[in-house]
Structure 1
Amino acid sequence: MAWMAQLSERGRQRHGERVAVVDGDRRVTYAELDRRTDGLAAAFDAMGVGRGHRVAVLSHNRLEVLETYFALGKLGAAAVPVHYGAVPDEVAAIAGGCETSVIAGEEELLGRLAHPPGRAVLAFEGDRYREAAASGERPPPRDVPDDELMFILHTSATTGRPKGVCVDHRSLRSVATGYLADVEPGRGVVFLQCGPLSHGAMVLPLAYMATGATVVLMRMFSPPECLATIRRTEATHLFLVPEMLRFILQAAKRSPVDLPSLREVIYAAAPMPRPLLLEAHAALGCGFRQVYGITEGGGPVATLAPSEHDYAPGEPAGAGASVGRAIMGTVVERRDGGELWVRGPGRMRGYWNDPAATEEAVRDGWVRTGDLGTVDEHGYVHLAGRVKDVINRGGQKVFPAEVERVLLGHPGVREACVVGVPSEEWGELPFAYVVAPDGADAAEEFVASLKDLVRERLARYKRPVGFEVVGELPRNPAGKVTRRHLRTQAARRAAEPAGPRS
């Protein structure tokens, strides 16, 4: 039995009366989830969806998204999640490129699309969906192997066109069991999912469901609503990216709340500024878990436990400076050039209809992460930055992550991003964007203090040739900084007669 079907059946057998999903005022038990997804699978089957077929899913977070995933898994069909913020042309490109036969989702979002002939539509709010989920009908028996495709997850495209990462049931199973073996979540987990279910990070709530956890869905992220939901549902675990945590802390200052149920904040997708970690630990009083992962690796690759974080003021010591150790079943190695490669049963099958990109990314069973780093003798993974982000200054390599860490040591810097700008003399030069409190951009002494800091902490060739103070850094839906946009912007500035300004 394939993983998604087993996850549903196991939930019914072992945790039948326990609440599986909370969506606003709606609560569905594991027994109800299994029954509803049986009926939905039968409806998809009647629409001609079978093993090997693909269904696009376009929606905000809601119960029906998870139900659709489970129903398709029972049939051996694959889900192609599409972010709710995608414009019609982007939706059409993803749905068409993956040759989907059905598109399911929210009525309002579906109504904006031009549906090509031959592609059926299933609206979550419609009678067809509602009747199917309530029917109690069972789909025809399907022998779905673990190597059957379950998801085509599109990369966040920080550097260009998104690629479709093919994930099978074996990947989901291995990542869940490996991750859970390391984190040992215990009983009574209430997992709050405030990030989009269209992103690769949605493998985490599925993993926690293997333990009988309750998954609470937020339609979309809102800091005040997030705090209210934690309190209302007594959430124990929260997954987010660091910038979301910053917004939560700002909301908590405006309207303080007590969150005694919260055990663990899980963060990923972007570096956690140390001042933010210390502030959050003091304010929330819970543990923090870092997850390092890539969609091509199946999701979580390594994790740093709350007990391994260093919450003392000042620079982190020991393991606290790493992103953690590989989860069980996964191996991380440093290969030629300093790039980290990952191997394990959780890795992707390849990129959808892109053999050239697959061949470039997967070598002899190893997935190239695109991240530079090291693995120490105790297995802790340390990142140095992205291969594509390295700045080549006259043959000397400048790692943006190193410069950013120095800038984040300034008490007035909330975030930092360093990119390369073209230089006729040196090839590339580092340029820094920093996010600072309101008013700092008008203070020449603030920029002067940044120059003093890098002069003290960095070799001359690593120092940014200019600084720009901005209100925020551009991000994609996954919460990652879009360096490509900043590089383009910095290149324009470098082309101006006066060159980069500081």
Structure 2
Amino acid sequence: MAWMARLSERGRQRHGERVAVIDADRRVTYAELDRRTDGLAAAFHAMGVGRGHRVAVLSHNRLEVLETYFALGKVGAIAVPVHYGAVPDEVAAIVAGCETSAIAGEEELLRRLSRPAGCSVLAFESGRYRDAVASGDRPPPLDIPDDELMFILHTSATTGRPKGVCVDHRSLRSVATGYLADVDPGGDTVFLHCGPLSHGAMVLPLVYMAAGATIVLMRMFSPPGCLATIRRAEATHLFLVPEMLRFVLQAAKRSSASLPSLREVVYAAAPMPRPLLLEAHATLGCGFRQVYGITEGGGPVATLAPSEHDYTSAVPRGAGASVGRAIMGTVVESRDDGELWVCGPGRMRGYWNDSAATEEAVRDGWVRTGDLGTVDEHGYVHLAGRVKEVIIRGGQKIFPAEVERVLLEHPGVRDACVVGVPSDEWGELPFAYVVAPGEAPGEAAEFVASLKGLVRERLALYKRPVGFKVVRELPRNPAGKVTRRHLRTEAACHAAGLAGPRS
């Protein structure tokens, strides 16, 4: 029995009457979830979906998505999650690339697609789905080893075309046991997951389910909806990315919302601006847990506990300046070129049908993260930026994350992103985008002058941005990461003719 089937069975045996999933007004216990997914697995089997078959799942967050994942795990099939915001051509490319034999999802989204020949479709709203989960049927017993694939998770593609990360049952099992060896969420955990169930962050709900937690879903994230859901479900844990947290805080201030049940905010996917962390801690009064992870590493790689955060100083100190320590069973190492590599049973099997990319990313059992950083003597991982984002100015390396941290010290800056722009003289020069509420978009002269004064005090001459642009917000993908390639293209035009500082 593979991990997903064992996880479902374990939930029924140990936490049968505990609520497993809350989706709006619907509540399903662990016993009900196991029974419903048995029936759904039997239905997939009757549709001809079996071991090794790929099934695309196209939907907003909802109970049926998790049920489909468990059901596919029980018949040995492979789930291919697709973000609900993908356009038909993007969905078609993923469906064709993974050679899917079926598509499950929301009826409205499925109607927009042209179904490939021989590809079955199962709509969540259909009578066929309702009959399946209510049938009481069970799929044929299968002995599925943990090294068989469970998911093909497509990367967020901040720099190019997304790749399909192959995740097996062993990865899910090892990440869950490793994470929970370091993190004890408690038997009464109610975990509100605000991220899509269609990318790497969807591993976290499965991890918390291994601890018997109740998982709360939102169809789509909205700040008022998030606050209302926390209160209604009495959520103890909240997962989101920092930009979501900013909007939640704004909504909380407008409504004077009290969230007495909330014990911990789990954040990932993007750096947490220091002013935002301090404001959030003061406003919400709960602990914060950072999760550093990559889809290729199985999801969570390292975590910084609430007790290790520094909630007092403007510049983080000690462990609070890191992203945490590797979870049990995972090793993080900084190689000679400064890139972080990850080794452990949670790592991916490779990229789907892309041996060249796999050979580049996986070597001797280690996965390259694409992140630059160090690991100190106590095992804390410190990030310096992305390998592909390093700006080379006249042979000198500039790490955007370092410049961004300085810009975020400015009281008027809410967010910042630094990208490289071409220079005939220097090769590349740094250019900064800043989000500053109250400032008009463009180049507010006095505000930009204050930014220049700050970087003069804090950064070496060659690291200082040659230009600044004030924007209302930074462009982000569904995973919450800034789409830097779009900013680089725009900045190259905006910064044409700017000269770098002499050093």
Alignment TM-score, normalising by the size of structure 2: 0.98
Q: Which residue of 2 aligns with 1:421?
A: 421
What code does the residue aligned with 1:256 have?
S
What is the letter of the counterpart of residue 433 of structure 1?
Y
Aligned counterpart, 2:224: 224
Q: Is 1:438 the equivalent of 2:429?
A: no
Letter in 1 for 2:130: R
**What amino acid sits opposite 2:476 in the alignment?**
R
Q: For residue 479 of structure 1, what is the aligned residue in structure 2?
A: 480
Q: 1:79-119: CA deviations, max 9, x gaps?
A: 00000000000000011100100000000000001112110
Q: Which residue of 2 aligns with 1:37?
A: 37
Q: What's the counterpart of residue 4 of structure 1?
A: 4
Q: Is the 8 A contact 1:23 1:62 kept in 2?
A: yes
Is 1:453 the counterpart of 2:454? The answer is yes
Counterpart of 1:25 in structure 2 is: 25
Instruction: Work out the CA distance in 1 between the residues paired with 2:459 and 2:440.
Output: 23
User: Aligned equivalents of 1:12 and 1:209: distance in 2?
Assistant: 11
Alignment of 1:73 onto 2:83:
no
Q: Deviation above 4 Å: which 4+ runs of structure 1?
A: 497-500
Query: What's 1:326 paired with?
Result: 326
> In structure 1, what is the Cα distance between the partners aligned to 2:498 and 2:140?
70
Query: Aligned pair in 2 of structure 1 residues 498, 323: CA closer, same or farther (>3 Å)?
Result: closer
Give the AA of the match of 1:374: T
What CA distance in whole angstroms lies between the structure 1 residues aligned with 2:365 and 2:356? 15
Q: Secondary structure at the match of 1:411?
A: coil
Name the aligned partner's letter for residue 344 of structure 1.
G
Q: 1:217 and 1:314 mapped to 2: Cα distance?
A: 34
Counterparts of 1:280-429 in structure 2, within 5 Å, are 280-429=280-429
8 Å contact 1:440–1:446 — kept in the other structure?
Answer: no
Residue segments in structure 2 that go unaligned for 5+ positions in a row: none
Q: Which whole-Å CA distance do the structure 2 matches of 1:191 and 1:408 have between them?
A: 30
Shift of 1:494: 3.1
Deviation at 1:258, TM superposition (A): 1.0
- Give the partner amino acid of 1:318: G
Residue type matched to 1:244 in 2? M
The amino acid of 2:139's aligned partner reads P
Counterpart residue number, 1:264 = 264
TM-score (norm 1): 0.98
| Corresponding position: 1:211 with 2:211 | yes
Residue 223 of structure 2 aligns with an amino acid whose one-letter code is P
Residue 253 (structure 1) shift: 1.0
1:50 counterpart letter in structure 2: G
SS in 2 for 1:367: strand
What secondary structure does 2:337 align onto? helix
Which position in structure 1 is the counterpart of 2:491?
490
Say whether 1:51 aligns with 2:61. no
What are structure 1's unaligned runs of at least 5 residues? none
| Preserved CA contact (<8 Å) 1:493 1:499 | no
RMSD over aligned Cα, in angstroms? 1.0
CA displacement at 1:363 relative to structure 2: 0.6
**Partners of 2:361 and 2:367 within 8 A in 1:** yes
Task: Tell me, in whole angstroms, the C-alpha distance in 1 between the residues paired with 2:246 and 2:380.
Answer: 26
- Structure 1 SS opposite 2:301: strand
Q: Distance in 2 between matches of 1:315 and 1:489?
A: 31
- Counterpart of 1:133 in structure 2 is 133
Distance 2:317 2:416 in 1: 22
Code of the aligned partner of 2:493: R
Aligned partners of 2:431, 2:182: CA distance in 1, in Å? Answer: 39
Query: Quick one: distance in 2 between partners of 1:488 and 1:439?
Result: 23
Q: Is the 8 A contact 1:57 1:81 kept in 2?
A: yes
Corresponding residue SS for 1:70: helix
Q: Distance in 2 between matches of 1:465 and 1:396?
A: 15
Q: How does 1:154-173 map to 2 (within 5 A)?
A: 154-173=154-173
